[in-house]
Amino acid sequence: SYELTQSLSVSVAQGQTARITCGGNNIGTKNVHWYQQKPGQAPVLVIYRNYHRPSGIPERFSGSNSGNTATLTISEAQAGDEANYYCQVWDSSTVVFGGGAKLTVL
Amino acid sequence: QVQLQESGPGLVKPSETLSLTCSVSGGSMYSYYWNWIRQPPGKGLEWIGYVHSSGSTNHNPTLNSRVTMSLDTSKRQFSLNLSSVTAADTAVYFCARGDWFDYWGQGIPVTVSS
C-alpha cells in the first residue's frame, strides 16, 4: 500500500517561512491536498491539487509537488498558523493521509 | 453554503455495530464522493471510506469487510455502519465531501466500551 511520510514536527520563527514536506514514491505524479487542523477542530483544506488555494486561505499558503516530495510552504508564519498539517493523496481508489506534522511558531 | 453534520450514538459496546449519519445542507449531492474519516485520540487522520453519488463505495482495506456505507440523496444524508467494533475503533468520526475534502462535519466522538 502507498505510504506518505511527514516529519513529526516543524518549528519556525514568527515572520519566517515554514516548509512542511510530504514524501511518497513518485508523489509528483499524484495530486496532493493539504489540511490544517487545530486542537478540537475539524481539519480545514488549505491547498488542493498540489498548489491551488481554496477561497479564504491566505496567499501565504502555497504548495508544490515534484519527484518524491510535496511541500506546503507557509510564508510570514504567524502564531495562528500553529497546528497539525496533513497531506493526502488518492492511490488505487483509496485515500491515504500522511501521519501529520505539528507546526510550532516560536 | 455547504454544511455537514454527523449524528449517532456516542457510546457503543464492543462487538456491536457503530452507526453514524451525516446530514448535508446546501450544495448538490450529485457527482461527489461522500467520505468518512476518523481520528483516534491523540493520533492522525484515518480514511474509512466513501460512497459516491453514483452508488459506488470503497473503503480502507485495513478495515476488511466491517464497513458498510450508503447514500440517500432524497434525505440529503449518507451513513456509515462499522461492525464488530473494539476499543481500537474509539475515535472522533468526521464526514467530508469530495476528492479533496473541502467541507467537513464538526466531528462526533465515539467511544467503544462496555
Are the beta carbons of B21 and B82 closer than 8 angstroms? no
The answer to whether residue B46 scores a pLDDT higher than 90 is yes
pLDDT for res B64? 83
pLDDT for res B105? 98
Three-class secondary structure of residue B29 per DSSP: coil
Q: Which of A33, A90, A100 sits opposite B44 (nearest CB)?
A: A100
Are the beta carbons of A75 and A60 closer than 8 angstroms? yes
- Kindly report the average pLDDT of chain A as a whole number: 97
Q: How far is B113 from chain A (nearest CA, A)?
A: 22
pLDDT for res A94? 95
Are the beta carbons of B48 and B113 closer than 8 angstroms? no
Residue B102 with chain A: CB contacts under 8 Å: 45, 48, 54
Residue B106 with chain A: CB contacts under 8 Å: 42
Q: A19-57: per-residue pLDDT in tens? A: 999 999 999 999 999 999 999 999 999 999 999 999 999
- The model's confidence at residue A9, banded by pLDDT at 50, 70 and 90, is very high
Q: Which of B50, B100, B104 sits opposite A48 (nearest CB)?
A: B100
Distance CA A27, CA A106 (A): 30
Q: Long-range contacts of range A43-49, CB-CB < 8 Å, 24 or more positions apart?
A: A43/A86, A43/B45, A43/B94, A43/B101, A43/B104, A44/B104, A45/B100, A45/B101, A45/B102, A46/A72, A46/A85, A47/A72, A48/B100, A48/B102, A49/B100
- The model's confidence at residue B63, banded by pLDDT at 50, 70 and 90, is very high
The answer to whether residue A88 scores a pLDDT higher than 90 is yes
Closest of B65, B69, B72 to residue B24, by C-alpha? B72
Rg, chain B, Cα only: 13
Considering only alpha carbons, which residue of chain A is nearest residue B4?
A42
What does the pLDDT average to over A2-18? 96
Q: B7-29: per-residue pLDDT in tens? A: 999 999 999 999 999 999 999 99
What does the pLDDT average to over A67-96? 97
Count the helix, strand and coil residues of chain B and give each as a percent rounded to the nearest 5. Answer: 5, 50, 45
Q: Cβ of B35 and A99 within 8 Å?
A: no
Residue A86 with chain B: CB contacts under 8 Å: 44-45
pLDDT for res B18? 98
Q: How far is A1 from chain B (nearest CA, A)?
A: 9
Q: Which of A42, A90, A96 sits opposite B94 (nearest CB)?
A: A42
What does the pLDDT average to over A71-75? 98
